[in-house]
Amino acid sequence: MSPVTQAVRPTVAAPAGTARLTSGRAPGFGSHLADFGPIPSLVAEGLLEELRASGLEGRGGAAFPAWRKIEAARARGRSRGRRAVVVGNAAEGEPLSSKDLTLLRMAPHLVIDGLLGVATTLDAGSIHLYGPESALPAVARALAERPDARAIDLRPSAETFVSGEASAVVSALAGRRPVPQDRTVRLTEAGLNGRPTLVHNVETLAQIALIARFGAAWFRSVGTATDPGTRLVTVSGDVASPGVLEIAGGTRIGDLLGFAGADTAALSAVLVGGYHGAWVPAAGFSANLAREQLAPFGAAVGAGILMALDARRCPLTLASSIAGYLAGETAGQCGPCVNGLPAMAEVLHRLARGDRNAGLPAEVRRLAELVTGRGSCHHPDGTARFVLSTLTVFAEDVAAHLGGRCAKDHS
C-alpha cells in the first residue's frame, strides 16, 4: 500500500463505529459542519494518495478503485489540455435499491463535499449531479445553503433500469436518450462533449468526503482488508424492517439479514446484487458480503442490494416476474437484448405457471447463453445471470414444477 503523503488533521472527532455516512444529526449545512467539520483543502496529490491508501472502491456496482478513475481523467485532461467533467451519479435505476436516494436526503452535503473535492483535484470545467426527481428538492436546498456549490448543475435522471449506467448518464447530460452507448473509448478519456468525464456514484463521493477529512487509516479501521470501510446496503423482501443500513465491509450475510429483522431460519435464499444479481441459498448465509465469499454463488456485492425470500414463497413465480420486468427495460438498441430477453422471460414464465414440458429449463439456459455478451451494455448479461442463478439455486423447485407438485405460495 502506498504511504499517505499528507497528514489529515480533522477539526472534529471522526465518527466511531459503523455509523459514518449516516452519523449526521440533520441534513442542513450548519449541522453538517458541526458533525463533520469543514472539508480540508487537500491538494490533488494528497487526496489521490489518501484514496489509494484507503482502498475505497466505487459504490455504484462496478467496484472499481475510486482513485484510479480520478487519476485516469486527470491524466487524460493534462495530456489533451482539456478540462474534465465531474458527475455525481444518483440514478439507481434498480427498483430494489434506495441507498443513494436515502443518502441524498440524509447527508447531501457529504455528497457535495466529495463532488467539489474531486472537481478541485481535476480542475474540472463543469460539475453535474444527476439523480431522481424525488431527491432533487433536498439537494437543491443543500446547494442553496453554500456559495461554493453554485457551479454544480443539478439534473433529473430518467426512471429506467439502465439509466444509471455511466454512458447512459453522459448521454442524458448531452441532451440525448438516457440509454447506454456502445463504447470503445473510456469516458475518462472522452465523455461529455469529448472531454475526460468522471462519473462517480454519490455514495462513493460521500465516502471521499469523509476520507479527505479523517484519512485512509480511519477509513480502514472498520471492515476487512479486502473490503475496508462501511457501505450502504438496501435490504428488502421478507424481512421485518426493510430499508437502508450502513454496515461494515465484509459483514456476514446472516447478521445483515438479522439487522433488518429477518427470521433467517424461515428464508430459502437471498438475492444479492439486485435484479442483475444472483441468489445465495440459506446454506450460504454464513458467508460474508464480500467479493471472494460471494464468488462461489456467482454473486457480487455490487451496489449493496439484498432481497430475502421466505421459504414458503415460490421462487420461480418471483423470478418470472422479475425477468419479465427486465425484458421490458431493454433500451431497444441491440437485437439479442430486444428479442432474447422477452423470449427467455416467456419460457421461465411457462415453467413458473405449471407447464410441465421437461425441455423448458434447457431452453431457458440456451437463451441465457445466447444473449450473454451480445449487448452494448451489461443488461442482457445481468438478466441472464439472474435467471441462470434461479435455475441452479432452486433446482428442487424446478423439479417440483415439472413434476406438478409445487405447493408453495404463487401469489
Nearer to ligand SF4, 305 or 377 (CB): 377
| Residue 179 interacting with ligand SF4 (CB under 6 A) | yes
> From residue 118 to residue 157, what is the string marking binding to ligand SF4 with x (rule CB under 6 A)?
----------------------------------------
Which residues, 6+ apart, have CB-to-CB distance to 405 below 8 Å? none
> From residue 278 to residue 317, what is the string marking binding to ligand SF4 with x (rule CB under 6 A)?
----------------------------------------
Number of Cα atoms under 13 Å in the Cβ half of residue 315: 29
What string of H, E and C letters represents the secondary structure of the chain? Answer: CCCCCCCCCCCCCCCCCCCCCCCCCCCCHHHHHHHHCCCCCCCHHHHHHHHHHHCCECCCCCCCEHHHHHHHHHHHHHHHCCCCEEEEECCCCCCCCCHHHHHHHHCHHHHHHHHHHHHHHHCCCEEEEEECHHHHHHHHHHHHCCHHHCCEEEEECCCCCCCCCHHHHHHHHCCCCCCCCCCCCCCCCCCHHHCCEEEEEHHHHHHHHHHHHHHHHHHCCCECCCCECEEEEEEEECCCCCEEEEEECCCEHHHHHHHCCCCHHHEEEEEECHHHCEEEEHHHCCCECCHHHHHHHCCCCCCCEEEEEECCECHHHHHHHHHHHHHCCCCCCCHHHHHHHHHHHHHHHHHHCCCCCCCHHHHHHHHHHHHCCCCCCCHHHHHHHHHHHHHHHCHHHHHHHHCCCCCCECC
Nearer to ligand SF4, 80 or 186 (CB): 186
> From residue 340 to residue 379, what is the string marking binding to ligand SF4 with x (rule CB under 6 A)?
-----------------------------------xxx-x
Nearer to ligand SF4, 124 or 341 (CB): 341
Query: Binding residue for ligand SF4 (CB under 6 A) from 337, 345, 384, 398?
Result: 337
CB of 275 to ligand SF4, least distance (A): 13
| Residue 330 interacting with ligand SF4 (CB under 6 A) | yes
Query: Binding residue for ligand SF4 (CB under 6 A) from 180, 223, 237, 382?
Result: 180
Binding window for ligand SF4 (CB under 6 A); candidates: 44-52, 230-238, 268-276, 324-332 = 324-332
Nearer to ligand SF4, 166 or 245 (CB): 166
| Residue 234 interacting with ligand SF4 (CB under 6 A) | no
How crowded is residue 148: how many other Cβ atoms within 10 Å of its Cβ? Answer: 12
Query: Binding residue for ligand SF4 (CB under 6 A) from 272, 334, 345, 360?
Result: 334
Query: Binding residue for ligand SF4 (CB under 6 A) from 124, 331, 351, 360?
Result: 331
Nearer to ligand SF4, 21 or 326 (CB): 326
| Residue 162 interacting with ligand SF4 (CB under 6 A) | yes
CB of 374 to ligand SF4, least distance (A): 7
Nearer to ligand SF4, 166 or 334 (CB): 334
CB of 371 to ligand SF4, least distance (A): 8
Choose among 221, 287, 217, 297: nearest CA to 251: 287
Binding window for ligand SF4 (CB under 6 A); candidates: 201-209, 215-223, 236-244, 333-341 = 333-341
Strand-pair partners of 278: 272
**Gap between the Cα atoms of 343 and 349, Å rounded:** 10
| Residue 326 interacting with ligand SF4 (CB under 6 A) | no
Cβ atoms of 154 and 136 within 8 Å: the answer is yes
Query: Binding residue for ligand SF4 (CB under 6 A) from 380, 389, 393, 394?
Result: 380
Size of the site for ligand SF4 (CB under 6 A): 15
| Residue 55 interacting with ligand SF4 (CB under 6 A) | no
Nearer to ligand SF4, 277 or 375 (CB): 375
Residues forming contacts to ligand SF4 in the complex (CB under 6 A) are: 162, 179-180, 330-334, 337-338, 375-377, 379-380
